[in-house]
Every structure is written in structure tokens, then in C-alpha cells.
Structure 1
Amino acid sequence: MLTATARGVRAGRRWFRAFRRTRPFWGSLWLVLGGWTVLKFSLGAIRLVTVTGFDALAGYLVGGGMMLCGLIPLALPRQRYTFGLLGTVLAVVSLVVSNLGGFLLGMLLGVLGGAMIVGWGPRRRRRARAGRAPVESGSGRC
């Protein structure tokens, strides 16, 4: 007999599995990690950021934008093309504006995640079993 906690854990795992399969989860994860890496290597004293202006602020904006572009497709999977491409562009831009894109690691994770988001598609239904004959449609003319 299962305890209530074990049943709750199983229900949680089933929910997470269904969530992960109906959204571009892995691409979003890589894009968010890439954005976090770019943001982490852009961090400086806030006083320094306000003194130096937009050059220092660009790393924050690009890293935060990458993280946002990774999180939106989890909530709205139909918008995966828009935010996957935008996240990929931001990852490439991070090479110029933010310490070589988080020392190349953030940029590579961002490009990988953006490509995975764009390439993700919802699950298709399985075809009819091999034992069944295909259904013919139309008049039979070529």
C-alpha cells in the first residue's frame, strides 16, 4: 500500500512528464541557462553600471532577454518560433556586448536552446497499425 506522500510524488512525476512532453522544455532550459551565464559574467557593481552607461547595461539586457525568451515558450508553446529565433539572435549578440557571450559558454548554450525551441514540435498521433490496410480515398484515378 502506498502512503499519501508516495502517491503525491507519483502524481507530481506524472504531471511533470506530461508538462515536459507538451512544451519545448529542454530547449527552454538551455536558453535560460545560457542567459543566466551571460548575466552572471556581466555582473558588476551597480555603481559601475550606472557610471559606464549602456555598454555595461547591455549585458544585463541581453542576459535577461535570453532568459525571458526561454521562459515564454514554456507558457505559450505556439510562440516557439518567435522566441526561439529571438533568443538565438540575443545569444549571438551577447558575443559582442557581454564578455564574449559569457566566455562563449552562455552564447553556445543560448544558440543550442534557441535551435531546440524552434525545432520542437507537438507530438503527432501514431499512424494506424501495420496490420490494417490503408484507407483509400477518392475515385481511384491517377
Structure 2
Amino acid sequence: MNAEAPVRSEGDHWLTVVRHRFRDWRGNRPFWAGLLIVFGGFPIAYFPYADLRLGNVTLAMATTAGAGSLIIGVLLMTLGVTLWFQQNMRVFAGVASILLALVSLPVSNLGGFFIGFLFSLLGGALALAWVPGQPVEEDPVVEQPVSLGKAEAMAGLQDIPGPRETETAHASETTAHADGGRNSAG
């Protein structure tokens, strides 16, 4: 058993169990990106074939590119579902959904009257931005530093190199020029 797994008792309602399982499933994939892309594909595919009836007047929004609109919409919905079940395809699906959303502007009634265009564009951007989380690892026990006495600390300082034979401990004319005219000695 996993020590970090949520504790579920036998008395939990089945809807609670399903909700928790769905939340765990949804958290491991670009769920919202896929949902937005699916929602974006629907108006792009639907509006060229829709008829609006106002009393006895029928408004048809059919275009000559109805088949193109249907293909774009179905491809977008397929890419959205692909994001849910194939997370490693997220970059391809994100780029393809952005390109299909841009193509839908001239082909499909301004991208499903901008509704499908915006949903697909936002979903593609979310798919590109999503990265899988890294599992949390436990931190190793960090040892506390041991306080050293003065003699032990001075013994440790002997390993630090001092000035070389050509260096002096005080500022000279050469070091003053190297510092840009600033005199560090005083």
C-alpha cells in the first residue's frame, strides 16, 4: 500500500469513490486542454450544416467548404480525445489544433463564429504548456553541522591557500590601476 494514498473507508458512497478516481485520472493528463479542443471542434463542424428557423424563415449557414469544416471539426475532436489517452502526443496535438483552428477561420464560417476558433486555440496552447508532474521523493536526512573548537577550526584553515609569492597583502600602484583607480588599502 502507498503511504500517501488517500484513506477511503468501506462506507464511502460509490459516487465519492468515482469522483476521487476521476480526479486522480484527470490530474495525470492535459484534461482541460483536451476538453477545450473537443468543445472547439463541435461548433466548427456544426455551424456549416445548421439551419436556423425564425418563424417561416429558414437561415442556412451552409458554405461551399462544408466538407472542409466537417473534417476540421472531427480532427479537432479527435485531437482532444487523443490528449486524454495519449499524453505523449501533447506537443503534436497542441500544434495541430492551433493550426487547424487558424485554418478554420477562412474555411468554416470564421472558425465557428469565433467560438470554436477561440476554444481550439486556447486548448492547443494549454496542451503545449502542460508538462507531466514529477513524483515527490522524500528528502534524505540532512546532517547538522558539527561545531568545531577553535583549534580544530584553525587546523582546517591551513588547507586554504594564501597569497602567492608574487602577491602582496597590501595595495600597490599596480593594483590601484587594476581597480580603476580605487585604492582598497585605505
**Shared fold (TM-score, shorter chain, > 0.5):** yes
Cα distance in 2 for residues equivalent to 1:73 and 1:132? 40
Q: Which has the higher helix share?
A: 1
Q: Distance in 2 between matches of 1:92 and 1:12?
A: 37
For residues 42 and 71 of structure 1, the distance between their equivalents in structure 2, rounded to whole angstroms, comes to 23
**1:72-111 superposed matches below 5 A:** 72-111=82-121
Q: What is the CA–CA distance in structure 2 between the aligned matches of 1:103 and 1:20, rounded to whole Å?
A: 30
With the length of structure 1 as denominator, give the TM-score of the two structures.
0.77
Shift of 1:84: 1.3
Q: Which has the higher strand share?
A: 2
Q: Distance in 2 between matches of 1:118 and 1:65?
A: 17
Secondary structure of the structure 1 residue equivalent to 2:101:
helix
5+ long unaligned stretches in structure 2: 1-8, 52-62, 144-186
Q: Structure 1 segments of 4 or more deviating over 6 A?
A: none
Within a 5 Å distance, the mapping from 1:4-43 to structure 2 comes to: 7-43=13-49
Q: What number of residue pairs does the alignment pair up?
A: 124
Q: How does 1:53-64 map to 2 (within 5 A)?
A: 55-64=65-74
Distance 1:99 1:64 in 2: 16
TM-score by length of 2: 0.60
- Matched residue type, 1:62: I
Specify which structure has the bigger relative contact order, considering alpha-carbon pairs within 8 angstroms and separated by 6 or more residues.
1
Bigger Rg, structure 1 or 2: 2
**Pair 44,105 (structure 1): closer, same or farther in 2 beyond 3 Å:** closer
Percent identical across equivalent pairs? 32
1:54-99 Cα deviation digits (max 9, x unpaired): x220010011111111110111111111111111111111001000
How far apart in 2 are the matches of 1:37 and 1:132?
57
Q: Kindly report the root-mean-square deviation, in angstroms, between the aligned alpha carbons of the 2 structures.
A: 2.4
